[in-house]
């Protein structure tokens, strides 16, 4: 929807290249097929969550609940599978549950008219996490059917399955956001809600859809995470919403809505993934990693502010 | 003995943004107690000049003298300290604070001691003193959010006085005021002038400039094209100086031939406390004006007809190729052939983060999608056509809409409703648009009517309605107070109905 000059759109990509260049010079282990596939695998879950977050951030919203939704759906999914429910059915239920919680987030905004999604999703964040802990009795759920892990956490033609799933999700969302009336409407709502309404766009229905999609992305991420961990840990996904928001923002989306692309978000998720991986290879402690990622978020948004300032006076 | 130097004297001021000169070699003098009008189309450099004089922008070249002494204005505080304050079109006030706090904000009187406790008594006294100089009474305790636009404007001016301003720059101070509020504001400004405060008055409204200004400076393309005593310049001369063109004539074609079909039928439309028994018709090819004072319900009527605001009673029908269709909500209204150009293009009309093409295609035109998938070829063709028909000046349909001038942005909103729209509702279609763009938009509206569209135009500018409309409906306090044919419509007749003077005389 919003087309900025190419050099502006390429800024996050350039950042990713520079990062990879520096890391490959700093560590001989970085630029290997195994390591790169490893980074992709590790980034897949954050990348999927970032996709849902992108959709709501485009509408000038936010979804803080997705980490907890991952926790609740992973518990439900693994409980169902342990009780012998077929894997496909259990996965469908997990997706539906994530979508339903997302829809509730939307309805809290559009029906109850809560003033800001920060508040409504902060509420569901707590509710979903509490429900997850209650259902699981506070302990991880194990004993999943062996085939589940083999397929969902395995690989397809040498590519890790989580990466395949994330890639498909990105493709679908890209078409959704850039080629459909629904996607176009979401950008318009984020850019100017009243203008969108006066053009006949059903704003409330579209917002419900956006939050439902965000919940669905959390459900999908939960399926992948359950396979990777081969268990359902009720605290899974704690804080994951913050990494997802970081990926979206590093990827050039605007917190004020109306701006953001699937491609940018992918790059944002990869920048975070490569940064973690590179710092690990360089033996930088996890504590320092947090500091570095915090600085990257601030710098990325600062660069964005500078770009917009240049764009405005030109 | 030499005469005292002028209060402010700028010489050869130049400011560039990239390759473009926003101001080139601008010189100007302002005497104490003078009201100096600054006229010019949008983009002529008025805002840049205002920003430089108030310290918000630093010029690239040129000198500024204050009472004969050369001064630098590196920032807003320096300008305020010298005695120059700017009051913006939308006054920058804190909605949650009271009138007195807002006037004193930034210079709150405080008691001695490390805590710097606010001296509420002194604050109120200072606020009252500033308002007294304007000759107005605004309740000091009222939160800004609860007083009207006109009073907010006065509070902003009072704040400038509290800061010790001797030169106040006013940018379009009346753009959202009603006629009577404009009169009151001008009276306050005259009181200020008598006490020696100088004013720079920026406005598109020539009648106002004439009512208040001693001299006028016209800017065009960043240069001064004329400086003259206000009385020595006719409106025609002013417009020609601003636009470099002759004034356009009356645009009205003849009234639509008898026997044309009604396109819009509104019956007994009502909203508790807002609208009462609005009944009207607009025929094919007709331009009907909706006049009235601020708050008379013009905008509300248009928005309610469009389905954007709720109604308690009444019907709205649009006649399409297959007969009359009722309108109950926005989507249904658009499907029936209604369109709305809302009053505030920035707040209600445009998506500023998006391109020209996306803004035009926002009301997805016929054939714009199939099964929810956008047909980008169709959308682009529709946008290209709108740009061409309305002569929208843009680098292309993929340019960001915020890079366009006000007049061209307004044309983008209009461009959305070309094509299959049967009845177009327009609210202040040329507010904040410069003189020549205004004339151009008027021509386009007449052309749309000539092609058969029915237009209902609400405007606070009576000359605009007189130039454009075949028939004028006048609203007062949420009701239709009367209807004037083209022959009957004069400013006096419209005002009489709008203010209730006609009703009072009749009874």
Lateral strand order in the sheet of B61-66 = B20-30, B8-17, B61-66, B69-71
Report pLDDT digits (tens) over B261-293: 899 999 999 999 899 999 999 999 999 999 987
| CATH number attached to the domain at B262-351+422-506 | 3.40.50.300
The span from the CA of B412 to the CA of A199, in Å, is 13
Residue B110 scores a pLDDT above 70: yes
Is B8-243 assigned to CATH 3.40.50.300? yes
User: Does B262-351+422-506 match B8-243 at the fold level?
Assistant: yes
Q: Which value, to the nearest 10 degrees, does the dihedral of the CA atoms of residues A3, A7, A8, A12 take?
A: 120
Mean pLDDT confidence for B295-316: 94
B356 to A4, A202, A290: CA distances (angstroms): 13, 22, 41
CB-CB contact of B422 with B263 (8 Å) = yes
Q: Which of B362, B412, B416 should we substitute to test contact with A (largest number of A Cβ atoms within 10 Å)?
A: B362
Mean pLDDT in residue range B381-403: 93
- The share of chain A scoring above pLDDT 70, in percent, equals 95
Share of chain B above pLDDT 70, in %: 94
A59, A207 contact by CB (below 8 A): yes
Domain limits, chain A:
6-306
Query: How crowded is residue B463: how many other Cβ atoms within 10 Å of its Cβ?
Result: 12
pLDDT for the residue numbered B61:
93
8 Å CB contact between A236 and A71: yes
Best probe of the B interface among A8, A59, A195, A203, by most B CBs < 10 A, is A195
Question: Is 90 exceeded by the pLDDT of residue A74?
Answer: yes
pLDDT at B137 over 90: no
Mean pLDDT (whole number) for A68-77: 98
Looking at the predicted structure, is the pLDDT value of residue A72 above 50? yes
Q: CB–CB of B400 and A2 under 8 A? A: yes
Q: What is the pLDDT of residues B143-155, one digit of tens each?
A: 888 888 888 888 9
Segment among B96-100, B112-116, B297-301, B449-453 with least mean pLDDT = B112-116
Cβ burial of B6 (10 Å; 0-12, 13-18, 19+) is: middle
Closest residue, chain A, to B369 (C-alpha):
A181
What is d(CA A176, CA A153) in angstroms, rounded to the nearest whole number?
Answer: 26
Interval B441-494: pLDDT, tens: 999 999 999 999 999 999 988 888 998 999 999 999 899 999 999 889 888 888
User: Which residues, 6+ apart, have CB-to-CB distance to A269 below 8 Å?
Assistant: A43, A46, A47, A50, A247, A251
Q: How far apart, in whole angstroms, are the C-alpha atoms of residue B28 and residue B217?
A: 8
Show residues of chain B in contact with A258, CB under 8 Å.
351-354
Q: What is the pLDDT of residue B206?
A: 80
Contact A187 B348 (CB under 8 A): no
Place of tokens 């309404």: A197
* pLDDT-derived band at B207, boundaries 50, 70, 90: confident
Residues of A in contact with B427 (CB under 8 A): none
Please give the angle made by the CA atoms of B223, B224 and B228, to the nearest 5 degrees: 170
Strands A159-160 and A155-156: antiparallel
Q: List, for residues A147-202, the tens digit of each pLDDT value.
A: 899 888 888 888 999 999 999 999 999 999 999 999 999 999 999 999 999 999 99
pLDDT band (50, 70, 90) for residue B502? low
Task: Indicate the domain borders of chain B.
Answer: 8-243, 262-351+422-506
Which tens digit of pLDDT belongs to each residue from B409-439?
999 999 999 988 999 999 999 987 877 888 8
Q: What SS3 state is found at B270?
A: strand
**β-strand partners of B458:** B290, B427
The three-class DSSP label of residue B2 is coil
In 3-state terms chain B splits into helix, strand, coil percentages (rounded to 5) of 35, 25, 40
* Rama region for A258: left / alpha / beta (φ>0; ψ in -120 to 50; rest): left
User: Residue B45: is its pLDDT beyond 80?
Assistant: yes
pLDDT at A308 over 70: no
**Residues ≥6 apart with Cβ < 8 Å to A202:** A185, B331
B307 min Cα distance to partner chain A (Å): 9
Considering only A29-33, A276-280, B201-205, B367-371, which range has the smallest mean pLDDT? B201-205
Chain A positions touching B330 (Cβ under 8 A) are 197-200
Q: pLDDT tens-digit profile of A289-304?
A: 889 888 988 888 887 7
> What span, in angstroms and rounded, lies between the C-alpha atoms of B362 and B355?
10
Residue B68 DSSP symbol = T
Q: What are phi and psi of B431, to 5 degrees?
A: -65, 135
Answer whether B373 sits within 8 Å of A3, measured CB to CB.
no
Tell me the chain B residues in contact with residue A199 when contact means C-beta distances shorter than 8 Å: 330, 334, 362-363, 416
Which residue from B347, B374, B398 is facing A3, i.e. has the nearest CB?
B398
**Interchain CB contacts (distance < 8 Å): A and B:** 92
How do B20-30 and B35-39 pair as beta strands? unpaired
pLDDT band for position A2 (cuts 50, 70, 90): very low
* Contacting residues for B188 by C-beta, under 8 A, at least 6 apart: B134, B135, B136, B154, B157
Contact A199 B334 (CB under 8 A): yes
10 Å Cβ neighbour count for A26?
13
For the CA atoms of B22, B403, B440, B227, the dihedral, rounded to the nearest 10 degrees, stands at: -10
* Per-residue model confidence (pLDDT) at position B173: 87
- What are the contacts of A169-176 at 24+ separation with CB within 8 A? A169/A48, A169/A51, A169/A217, A169/A220, A170/A47, A170/A51, A170/A262, A170/A266, A173/A51, A173/A54, A173/A55, A173/A262, A174/A262, A174/A263
- As given in the structure block, the two tokens for residue B136 are 């107005």
The whole-angstrom separation of Cα A146 and Cα B48 is 71
Buried b (16+ CB within 10 A) or exposed e, B475-495: bbebbbbbebeeeebeeebbb
Decide if pLDDT at B248 tops 70: no
Residues of B contacting chain A (CB within 8 angstroms): 17-18, 306, 308, 330-331, 333-335, 340, 342, 347-355, 358, 361-364, 369, 372-374, 376, 398, 400, 416
The answer to whether the Cβ–Cβ distance between A200 and B374 falls below 8 Å is no
Average pLDDT over chain B reads: 88
pLDDT band at A13 (very low <50, low <70, confident <90, very high): confident
Q: What is the pLDDT of residue B227?
A: 93
CA-to-CA distance for B47 and B209, rounded, in angstroms?
17
Look at residue B405 and tell me whether its pLDDT is greater than 80.
yes
Q: Name the CA dihedral angle for B260, B263, B265, B266, rounded to a multiple of 10 degrees.
A: -130
What does the alpha-carbon distance between residue B459 and residue B290 come to, in Å, rounded to a whole number? 7
Q: What is the per-residue pLDDT for B503? A: 57
Q: Of B455, B174, B476, B438, give the one whose Cα is nearest residue B341.
A: B455
Domain A6-306 is in which class?
mainly alpha
| Of the partner residues A3, A200, A254, the one whose CB lies closest to the CB of residue B355 | A3
Dihedral (CA of B136, B141, B146, B149) sign: positive
Is residue B275 within 8 A of residue B301, CB to CB? The reply is yes
At residue A161, φ and ψ (nearest 5 deg) are -60, -40
Residues of chain B with Cβ-Cβ distance to A197 below 8 Å are 308, 330
What distances in angstroms separate CA A63 from CA A122, A254, A261, B254, B386, one per listed residue? 8, 15, 17, 58, 38
CA-closest candidate to residue A54, choices A293, A201, A257: A257
Task: Name the nearest CA neighbour of B293 among B177, B206, B408.
Answer: B177
Q: What is the structure's pLDDT at B247?
A: 44
Average pLDDT over residues B109-120: 82
Residue pointed to by tokens 């209650």: A134
Q: What is the pTM of this model?
A: 0.80
The tokens describing A98, both together, are 């994530």
Q: What angle do CA B140, B141, B143 make, to 5 degrees?
A: 110
CA-nearest of B311, B308, B310 to B330 is: B308
Distance from C-alpha of B261 to C-alpha of B332, rounded to nearest angstrom: 21
Q: What is the 3-state secondary structure (H, E, C) of chain A?
A: CCCCCHHHHCHHHHHHHHHHHHHHHHCCCCCCHHHHHHHHHHHHHHHHHHHHHHHHHHCCCCCCCHHHHHHHHHHHHHHHHHCCCCHHHHHHHHHHHHHHHHHHHHHHHHCCCCCCHHHHHHHHHHHHHHHHHHHHCCCCECCCCHHHHHHHCCEECCEEHHHHHHHHHHHHHHHHHHHEHHHHHHHHHHHCHHHHHHCCCCHHHHHHHHHHHHHHHHHHHHHHHHHHHCCECCCCCCCHHHHHHHHHHHCCCCCCCCCCCHHHHHHHHHHHHHHHHHHHHCCCCHHHHHHHHHHHHHHHHHHHHHHHHHHHHC
The answer to whether A254 contacts B353, with C-beta atoms less than 8 Å apart, is yes
* Nearest residue, CB atoms, A1 vs list B306, B342, B358: B358
User: What does the alpha-carbon distance between residue A264 and residue A249 come to, in Å, rounded to a whole number?
Assistant: 9
pLDDT at B240: 78
């Amino acid at each position: 929807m919003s087309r900025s000059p190419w050099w502006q759109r390429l800024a996050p990509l350039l950042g990713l290249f520079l990062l990879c260049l520096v890391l490959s010079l700093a560590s001989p282990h970085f630029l290997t097929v195994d390591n790169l596939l490893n980074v992709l695998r590790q980034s897949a879950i954050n990348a999927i969550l970032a996709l849902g977050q992108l959709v709501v951030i485009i509408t000038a919203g936010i979804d803080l609940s997705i980490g907890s939704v991952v926790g609740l759906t992973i518990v439900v999914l693994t409980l169902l599978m342990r009780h012998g429910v077929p894997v496909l059915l259990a996965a469908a239920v997990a997706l539906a549950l994530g979508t339903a919680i997302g829809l509730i987030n939307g309805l809290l905004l559009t029906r109850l008219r809560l003033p800001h999604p920060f508040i409504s999703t902060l509420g569901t964040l707590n509710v979903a996490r509490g429900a997850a802990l209650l259902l699981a009795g506070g302990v991880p759920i194990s004993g999943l059917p062996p085939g589940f892990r083999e397929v969902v956490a395995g690989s397809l033609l040498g590519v890790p399955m989580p990466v395949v799933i994330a890639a498909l999700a990105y493709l679908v969302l890209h078409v959704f956001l850039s080629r459909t009336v629904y996607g176009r409407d979401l950008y318009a709502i984020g850019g100017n809600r009243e203008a969108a309404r006066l053009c006949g766009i059903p704003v409330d229905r579209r917002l419900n859809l956006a939050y439902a999609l965000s919940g669905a992305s959390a459900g999908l991420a939960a399926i992948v995470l359950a396979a990777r961990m081969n268990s359902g840990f009720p605290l899974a996904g704690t804080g994951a919403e913050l990494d997802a928001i970081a990926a979206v923002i590093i990827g050039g989306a605007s917190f004020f809505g109306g701006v953001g692309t699937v491609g940018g978000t992918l790059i944002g998720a990869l920048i975070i993934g490569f940064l973690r991986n590179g710092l690990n290879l360089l033996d930088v402690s996890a504590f320092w990693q947090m500091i570095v990622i915090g600085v990257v978020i601030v710098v990325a948004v600062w660069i964005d502010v500078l770009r917009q300032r240049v764009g405005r006076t030109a | 003995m030499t005469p005292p130097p002028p209060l402010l004297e700028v010489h050869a001021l130049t400011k560039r943004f990239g390759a473009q000169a926003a101001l080139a070699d601008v010189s100007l003098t302002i005497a104490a107690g003078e009201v100096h009008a600054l006229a010019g189309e949008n983009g002529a450099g008025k805002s840049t000049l205002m920003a430089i004089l108030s310290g918000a922008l630093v010029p690239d070249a040129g000198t500024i003298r204050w009472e004969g002494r050369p001064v630098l204005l590196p920032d807003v505080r320096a300008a305020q300290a010298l005695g120059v304050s700017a009051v913006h079109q939308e006054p920058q006030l804190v909605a949650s604070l009271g009138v007195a706090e807002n006037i004193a904000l930034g210079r709150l009187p405080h008691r001695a001691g490390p805590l710097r406790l606010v001296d509420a008594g002194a604050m109120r006294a200072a606020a009252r003193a500033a308002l007294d100089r304007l000759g107005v009474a605004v309740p000091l305790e009222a939160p800004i959010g609860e007083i009207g636009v006109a009073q907010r404007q006065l509070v902003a001016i009072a704040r400038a006085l509290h800061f010790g301003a001797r030169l106040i720059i006013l940018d379009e101070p009346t753009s959202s005021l009603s006629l009577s509020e404009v009169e009151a504001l001008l009276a306050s400004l005259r009181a200020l002038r008598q006490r020696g405060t100088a004013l720079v008055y920026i406005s598109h409204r020539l009648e106002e400039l004439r009512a208040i200004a001693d001299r006028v400076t016209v800017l065009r393309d960043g240069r001064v094209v004329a400086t003259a005593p206000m009385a020595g310049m006719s409106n025609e001369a002013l417009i020609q100086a601003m636009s470099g063109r002759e004034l356009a004539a009356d645009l009205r074609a003849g009234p639509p031939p008898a026997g044309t079909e009604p396109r819009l039928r509104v019956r007994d439309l009502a909203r508790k406390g807002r609208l009462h028994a609005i009944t009207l018709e607009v025929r094919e090819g007709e331009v009907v004006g909706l006049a009235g004072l601020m708050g008379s319900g013009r905008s509300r009527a248009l928005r309610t007809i469009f389905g954007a605001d709720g109604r308690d009673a009444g019907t709205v029908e649009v006649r399409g190729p297959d007969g009359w269709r009722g309108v109950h909500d926005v989507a249904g209204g658009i499907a029936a052939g209604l369109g709305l150009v809302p009053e505030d293009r920035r707040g209600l009309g445009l998506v500023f983060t998006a391109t020209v093409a996306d803004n035009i295609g926002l009301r997805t035109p016929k054939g714009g999608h199939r099964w929810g998938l956008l047909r980008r070829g169709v959308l682009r063709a529709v946008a290209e056509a709108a740009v061409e028909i309305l002569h929208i000046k843009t680098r292309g349909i993929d340019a960001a809409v915020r890079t366009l001038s006000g007049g061209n942005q307004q044309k983008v909103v209009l461009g959305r409703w070309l094509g299959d729209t049967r009845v177009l509702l327009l609210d202040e279609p040329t507010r904040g648009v410069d003189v020549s763009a205004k004339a151009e938009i008027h021509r386009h509206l007449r052309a749309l009517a000539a092609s058969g569209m029915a237009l209902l135009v609400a405007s606070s500018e009576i000359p605009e309605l007189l130039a454009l409309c075949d028939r004028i409906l006048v609203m007062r306090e949420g009701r239709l107070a009367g209807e004037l044919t083209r022959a009957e419509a004069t400013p006096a007749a419209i005002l009489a109905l709008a203010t209730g003077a006609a009703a009072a005389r009749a009874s």
